[in-house]
Amino acid sequence: PAPAAPPRPAEPPLSAAQQRLWFLHRLEEEPTAAYNVPIALRLTGTLDEHALERALTDLTARHEVLRTVFPEREGRAVQRVLAPGDAPVPLAVEATTSEALDAALAAAAGLPFALERETPLRAALFRVASEDETSPHHDVLLLVLHHIAGDEWSVRPLLGDLATALAARLDGRAPEWAALPLQYADHTLRQRERLGDESDEDSEISRQVGYWKDQLAALAPELPLPLDRPRRSGTGHEGGIVEFGLSAATTAGLRRLASRTGATPFMVAHAALAVLLHRIGGTDDVPVGTLVAGRDDAAVHDLVGFFVNTLVLRTDTGGDPTPAQLVARARAATLDALDHADVPFERLVDLLDVERSLDRHPLFQVMLNYQTRTAAGPDLGHLSSEPVAVHTRTAKFDLTVTLVQEPGPDGALNGGITYRTGLFDEATVRRIADWYTRVLDAFAERPDHPVGGCRLLGDDEYRQLVTDWNHAEEPVELLSPAAEFTRHAESTPEAPAVITGDRTIRYGELLADTRSLAALLRAHGIRHGAPVAVLLPRSAELVTAAHAVLQAGGAYLPLDPDHPAARLAALLEANPPA
């Protein structure tokens, strides 16, 4: 039976995940597109825009969260669900060319939302002109969803329901689909009931909170990273991306390692990333963020909404483990985190009393995603589609490492690193991507060799560090303290060298006394490197004796008259004087 929706107020509260996004939205001095989720599909022909408009209205009627605005009431944001007729999805239709398409998509995807008054879904249809007779005219559909209303999982039901509605509208009828058992606001209230109250020690939320308090105790506020610029209040969320690919041999080796250790490919990627961050940051304590779907309740599988939760995976890389051993650690950390995945990340930040700042993400600064790419998009209006990558040029975290498994059991494994341009140069992130690739190569090729032997540097970097930057253009003259003292004394004979009480010994006099005593030492058989013990209190005579030993070529062995006789005897036994 379908779960009963709990009673809800006219304006339900935000979920914990939504509250964090709302907080960040209000904290930004300028609106940002960092939490926009662009979904672009290239179609095999042209789409009926009027049918698309009606289908988008059907879509928002089915999913309340897509027709919700988030006004503020007495200092707190609430969900205000609009009637279907009051929340049309903005649809822009624009003619463009293949060369201008990427820029047009990025510009449309980069427009921020005014969440207080604007519903969190907009659409654009780009009519791409044909270049010649062999490339026919086609459309590209762009949907931009704000993260407060959806996550990666939401893309499937969103596109599926849009396809159903569009097919119906093209046939001149309303879509027919089974009613959703719940809406997003209902789930928010049900989840609070299921987890219980933190004040109840026997509640599920209390169990999970206790785990995270122990797991993240004494975590450093910031992971050391090779920043090109220091953090500052105006760093912002402007982003860039560096892409990389893995060889077929490395991809196959990583799959074998996952199978051998009973781990998932994500866990292998996490262990390798922990090695990289350990090597470039010099710390054994490596926190990495990742996402969990948050849809254990089957009633929400077909629902558009922001269910995803953020987990912190804390890994100890100490002891120079092998890749196989470190994958086992990453596996344990991941499974433990998934068993306690219901505590909203935003609540965790509050419980741990972490300082909130726009300059630095709390608890972790590096995010890891592992995705599987679908071979094709849904059919829309009797037209087949394929996904189109859209870069919003924004970055939520310092670094976001994403690995994408291409379709098929032997599909290639490619990746990208999104970075904050206010902190990193592209060249730096390119090096980080190269280093990560080499760590993954080592995991695939040498899973039983300690990770400390993994070489991050390429041949060019190694030669630059060891040879080019270490080359002495001028020969280095070997200097001795005795020669330097003589040179200085001869050039400044009248300068004061030693002041003791009311007596001043000048460099010329000190040099003469030193040479006289050195000659006496040589006459007594002192040769190069021979230890000469000097037992004198702090005095002018001690200075003369020390320099004389060095002038004679001996090795100065100081003995303090105030030290115990046993210590003096031990020094003389270890260094028999000439």
3-state helix, strand, coil in the chain (%, to 5): 40, 20, 40
- Report the distance separating Cα 150 and Cα 118, nearest Å: 15
What is the DSSP secondary structure assignment for residue 251, as one 8-state letter? Answer: H
Question: What pLDDT, on the 0 to 100 scale, is given for residue 16?
Answer: 79
* pLDDT of 326 higher than 70: yes
> Is pLDDT larger for residue 33 or for residue 478?
33
The pLDDT mean for the chain works out to 90
Output 48 or 8, whichever has higher pLDDT.
48
Give the H/E segment covering residue 413: strand 413-420
pLDDT bin (cut points 50, 70, 90) of residue 75 is: confident
Which residues is 366 bridged to in the sheet?
A: 399
pLDDT score, position 375:
67
| Whole-angstrom distance, CA of residue 314 vs CA of residue 340 | 14
Length of the chain: 578
pLDDT tens figures, 536-562: 999 999 999 999 999 999 999 999 999
Determine which of 34-38, 464-468, 569-573 has the lowest per-residue pLDDT on average. 464-468
Segment (H or E) for 488:
helix 481-491
Are 255 and 261 in contact by the 8 Å Cβ rule? The answer is: no
Sorted by sequence, the CB contacts under 8 Å of residue 91 that are 6+ apart come out as 49, 52, 53, 56, 122, 123, 124, 125
Close Cβ partners of 471 (under 8 Å, ≥ 6 residues apart):
none
The DSSP code sequence of 279-296 is: HHH--SEEEEEEEE----
Tens-digit pLDDT profile for residues 138-180:
899 999 999 999 998 999 999 999 999 999 999 999 999 999 9
Predicted local distance difference test score (pLDDT) of residue 350: 86
The rounded radius of gyration (Å) of the Cα atoms in the chain is 35
What was the pLDDT predicted at 421? 95
Domains of the chain by range and CATH?
Answer: 1-203 (3.30.559.10), 237-295+304-373+388-471 (3.30.559.30), 481-574 (3.40.50.980)
At residue 93, the pLDDT reads 94
Region 40-45 average pLDDT: 91
- Separation between Cα atoms, residue 536 and residue 475, nearest integer Å: 39
Kind of pairing, strands 503-506 and 496-500? antiparallel
For residue 193, is pLDDT > 80? Answer: no
**Confidence band for 291, pLDDT divided at 50, 70 and 90:** very high
Predicted pLDDT of residue 133: 62
- In angstroms, rounded to a whole number, what is the distance separating the alpha carbons of residues 234 and 32? 13
pLDDT value at position 213? 93
Three-state SS for 519-561 is HHHHHCCCCCCCEEEEECCCCHHHHHHHHHHHHCCCEEEEECC
The secondary structure of 12-34 as a DSSP string is PBPPHHHHHHHHHHHH-SS---T
- β partners of residue 37: 145
Question: What pLDDT is recorded for position 259?
Answer: 96
**CA 383, CA 134: separation in Å to the nearest integer?**
18
pLDDT above 90 as % of the chain: 65
Per-residue confidence (pLDDT) for residue 6, from 0 to 100: 64
d(CA 244, CA 434): 8
41, 42, 127, 434 from 132: Cα distances, Å: 21, 18, 15, 39
pLDDT of residue 168: 95
Count of beta carbons in the 10 Å neighbourhood of residue 232: 10
* Residues sharing a CB contact under 8 Å with residue 240, sequence separation 6 or more, in sequence order: 393, 395, 418, 419, 421, 424, 426, 429
Q: Which pLDDT does position 254 carry in this prediction?
A: 97
Q: In the predicted model, is pLDDT for residue 2 greater than 60? A: no
The first and second tokens of residue 443, run together, are 């995991």
- pLDDT at 97 (0 to 100): 92
Summarised one tens digit per residue, pLDDT across range 380-399 is 878 899 889 898 888 989 99
Q: What is the pLDDT of residue 381?
A: 78
The token pair that represents 115 in the structure block: 């969440």
Report the candidate in 496, 543, 554, 497 with the shortest Cα–Cα distance to residue 521. 554
User: What is residue 333's predicted lDDT score, i.e. its pLDDT?
Assistant: 96
pLDDT band at 7 (very low <50, low <70, confident <90, very high): confident
pLDDT classification of 452: cutoffs 50, 70, 90:
very high
Quick one: pLDDT at residue 3? 58
CA atoms within 13 A of residue 399's CA, in its CB half-sphere: 28
Q: What is the pLDDT of residue 204?
A: 85
And the tokens for 350? 């509050």
Of the candidates 346, 365, 353, 395, the one whose C-alpha atom is nearest the C-alpha of residue 222 is 365
pLDDT at 200: 82
Per-residue 3-state assignment (H helix, E strand, C coil) for 379-405 = CECCECEEEECCCCCECCCCEEEEEEE
| DSSP line for 160-226 | HHHHHHHHHHHTTS----PPPS--HHHHHHHHHHHH--TT-TTSHHHHHHHHHHHHTTT--SS----
Share of the chain above pLDDT 70, in %: 97
Distance CA 504, CA 520 (A): 24
What is the pTM (predicted TM-score) of this model?
0.75
Average the pLDDT over each of 225-234, 304-313, 394-403 and give the range with the smallest value.
225-234
112-137: average pLDDT: 86
Number of H helices, E strands in the chain: 16, 19
Integer CA distances (angstroms), 195 to 45, 205, 289, 303, 311, in order: 48, 5, 23, 20, 17
**Positive or negative CA dihedral for 319, 249, 288, 282?**
positive
pLDDT, residue 189, reads: 81
Eight-state DSSP code of residue 464: I
pLDDT of residue 134: 62
Q: Is the pLDDT of residue 1 over 60?
A: no
Non-local (6+) Cβ contacts of 15 within 8 A are 184, 187, 188, 191, 306, 344
Give the count of beta carbons closer than 10 Å to the beta carbon of residue 22.
20
Q: Lowest mean pLDDT: which of 77-86, 191-200, 382-391?
A: 191-200
Mean pLDDT in residue range 28-52: 88
Q: pLDDT grade, residue 314 (50/70/90)?
A: very high
Q: CA 215 from chain center: how many Å?
A: 19
Rounded-to-integer distance, Cα 256 and Cα 410, Å:
12
3-state DSSP call for residue 431? helix
Residue 246 pLDDT greater than 80, yes or no: yes
224: pLDDT confidence band, cut at 50, 70 and 90?
A: very high
